[in-house]
Amino acid sequence: MAQNRHHVASSQKALMLEMKSLQDEPVEGFKITLVDESDLYNWEVAIFGPPNTHYEGGYFKARIKFPIDYPYSPPAFRFLTKMWHPNIYENGDVCISILHPPVDDPQSGELPSERWNPTQNVSVSCLVLPPSLLLSAPFPSPHPVLPSTILITRSAVGLSLRTILLSVISLLNEPNTFSPANVDASVMYRKWRDSKGKDREYIEIIRKQVVATKADAERDGVKVPVTLDEYCVRTQVPPTDDGSNLLYDDYYDDEELDDDDDDEDDDEDCCYDEDDSGTEDS
């Protein structure tokens, strides 16, 4: 009993910190609320389909259920909205490595390092990109680090849940067909992919589902973002300090290079090559 009370107190504290972190520094494409204000273990998630993707204009509802011993055990993520996807079961459960316990299971095709890790450190967040970039192309080209990415890097609190959210929305557009949860959807997706888009059955089902979600959005009084300007989270850059200026000093100085003289080119080269600088001088 004492151990169970310890788990409850520990997990509630962790969840309160994560909720506060996500409220203070939102993840673009998501809206997080509690199903019941008195229950920290059940979260309601609204996922907005990123612009310029097959999910554009979509309003997808899901639930995250946390175990008593969170963060030592992973939460469960289930879509409430009907989803046709290789990695989503008929009941809406998401099949993704990061939600699986970190055990060695050769039959799964997953490495323990790909599974849930309650001790994920800040360096993991450096690999996380905003979903508007993750879903805009299979392999995003190099680009300046965006404010939301930097904020995730600077905040260890809520990191694991942020990783889950961004992994789920990335998985929507880039399914894993190695071990599908929905075999029929996986076969249909591969036909679309291998035909380079000529076989449109998979995409047409997705678009029908997107259109169907508009009724849910209207009923819930939710305005779904449809442009990048509406979709992206507006954040303010925290003030820098002497002990943690690794990213801010480099990237945010470079974002203002367009207003500087040409003699600043040497500073620009420290972060970007000529093809990816995004400046007129390149």
- Distance from the first to the final alpha carbon of the chain: 65
Q: Which of 86, 115, 262, 79 is nearest to 190 (CA)?
A: 86
Contact (CB, 8 A) for 149 and 46: no
Active site annotation includes 95: yes
Query: What SS3 class is residue 255?
Result: helix
127 residue type, one letter: L
Q: Which of 228, 185, 157 is nearest to 15 (CA)?
A: 157
Quote the DSSP letter at residue 59. Answer: E
Integer Cα distance of 182 and 87 in angstroms: 6
- Catalytic residue, chosen from 95, 126, 270, 271, is 95
Q: How many residues does the chain have?
A: 282
Q: Which of 175, 149, 193, 173 is nearest to 47 (CA)?
A: 173
Active-site positions?
A: 95
